[in-house]
Amino acid sequence: MITVTKTFFPPIEDYQRQLERIWKNRWLTNNGELYKELSQKLQDYLGVNHIIPMTNGTLPLQIALNAFGNGGEIITTPFSYVATTATIVWEKCTPVFVDIHPEYLTIDETKIEAAITDKTTSILATHVYGNPCAVEDIEAIAKKHKLKVIYDAAHCFGVRYNGQSIFNYGDVSTCSFHATKLFHTGEGGALFCQDETTRQKMWYRHNFGHDGPEKYRGLGLNAKMSELQAAMGLSVLPYMDHIMTERQRVCRHYDKHLDFNALNKLKLREGAQWNYSYYPVIFKSESQLLKIKTRLKAQDIFPRRYFYPSLEDLPYIQSLQCPIADYIAKRVLCLPIYDSLSNENLKVITLIINND
């Protein structure tokens, strides 16, 4: 079976060595030795200012919105995973959708200002498939209207834009370390910010509001990453060059062998250093997509409609329609991509797609 992705498993001996440290320390959570080491190594590897690893990739969004949302309207994109919009609603804010760019697939920055009202508190934009938003334009809009900027950068581990980590943009960026991601801790995520004041706001919120063992700075919840998760992260991180190189190989095969007379592909933003996190193709029609998906499934090959459906159709929100997001969501398919995907299997996949 060929799935859309496969979890990278480091050699079990690597993970066991990290587990032995945990057993020696007798410390399983609460800012342990492995957690601190992983935090520093990620900060160095990525070139970021402040990082708070957490137990999953959704809680960083929730914590950022708790700090910046203030019950107001959040300008966001309907072309994202459901966690983006669900978190806005969960934090008692109102999502206001802005349509996407038809080639970059990120929020259309030229349409943001028209959606701003006196109730708007933040912009929550998604870097799609590792492709950066128009971060300079969004920053200028946010400064003009005194708004906070949160980036859902779940797909962006290792992405750089104009020479620096994509996580160094916005007031807060978040990332997923889920088992299906490039870098993972089994389940996990992280929050990134640019200054110590913001880091403290986020840190206390992710640890029940604690300010030391006997004081509370404010309301918080439990988003702490465990030592077991950190152990997995420390075991995976040394293999990132291998993972990225092999995924680049897969992308280059698709680039070379797919028939792009019948398909469109993601347009990468100029200045972006991509991470090969996904390989989306856009069909001319939904019926064509469904036909190819059926043919692939018959050969035990399982791509994914990611993101589908467009989030303006969620049952618990009211929103304006976004025709471009809806159009893309119905036609985009993410093809299998992972480090161990063989060239022979890649040939099978491309042959099925090209022989439509």
- 2-238 and 240-354: identical CATH topology: no
Q: What is the pLDDT of residues 63-75, one digit of tens each?
A: 999 999 999 999 9
CATH 3.90.1150.10 matches 240-354: yes
Q: What is the pLDDT of residues 82-96, one digit of tens each?
A: 999 999 999 999 999
Phi, psi of 318 (to 5 degrees): -120, 130
For 13, the token pair is 């001996």
Number of H helices, E strands in the chain: 11, 15
Cα atoms found within 13 Å of the Cα of residue 47, Cβ hemisphere only: 10
Q: What is the pLDDT of residues 209-219, one digit of tens each?
A: 888 777 888 89
Q: Rounded to an integer, what distance in angstroms lies between the CA atom of residue 251 and that of residue 191?
A: 28
Phi, psi of 78 (to 5 degrees): -80, -10
pLDDT of residue 318: 82
Res 222 pLDDT > 80: yes
Per-residue burial over 12-27, b if 16 or more Cβ lie within 10 Å, else e, is eebbeebbebbeeeeb
CATH 3.40.50.300 matches 2-238: no
pLDDT of residue 212: 76
Res 111 pLDDT > 90: yes
Q: What is the pLDDT of residues 174-192, one digit of tens each?
A: 999 999 999 999 999 999 9
pLDDT band at 243 (very low <50, low <70, confident <90, very high): very high
Section 43-50 average pLDDT: 97
- DSSP-derived 3-state class of residue 76: strand
Angle at 338 between CA 336 and CA 339, to 5 degrees: 145
148-152 and 263-265 as β-strands: parallel, antiparallel, unpaired?
unpaired
Phi, psi of 286 (to 5 degrees): -65, -35
- Match 């309207």 to its residue by tokens: 73
Contact 206, 219 (CB under 8 A): no
Terminal CA-CA length for the chain: 21
pLDDT band at 261 (very low <50, low <70, confident <90, very high): very high
Contact 332, 281 (CB under 8 A): yes
310: part of which helix (H) or strand (E)?
Answer: none
pLDDT of residue 211: 81
Per DSSP, 191 falls in state E
148-152 and 172-176 as β-strands: parallel, antiparallel, unpaired?
parallel
Q: What is the pLDDT of residues 134-171, one digit of tens each?
A: 999 999 999 999 999 999 999 999 999 999 999 999 99
Mean pLDDT, all residues of the chain: 97
Q: Rounded to an integer, what distance in angstroms lies between the CA atom of residue 161 and that of residue 48?
A: 13
**In angstroms, what CA-CA distances link 321 with 72, 110, 324?**
20, 17, 9
Percent of the chain with pLDDT over 90: 94
pLDDT of residue 224: 97
Domain ranges of the chain: 2-238, 240-354
Q: What is the pLDDT of residues 16-25, one digit of tens each?
A: 999 999 999 9
pLDDT of residue 9: 98
DSSP H helical ranges for the chain: 12-25, 33-46, 59-68, 82-90, 135-145, 196-205, 227-236, 240-257, 286-298, 323-329, 343-354
Q: What is the pLDDT of residues 294-348, one digit of tens each?
A: 999 999 999 999 999 999 989 999 877 899 999 999 999 999 999 999 999 999 9
For 49, the token pair is 């200012």
The DSSP string of 6-30 is ------HHHHHHHHHHHHHHT--SS
Looking at residue 129, its amino acid is Y
pLDDT of residue 213: 79
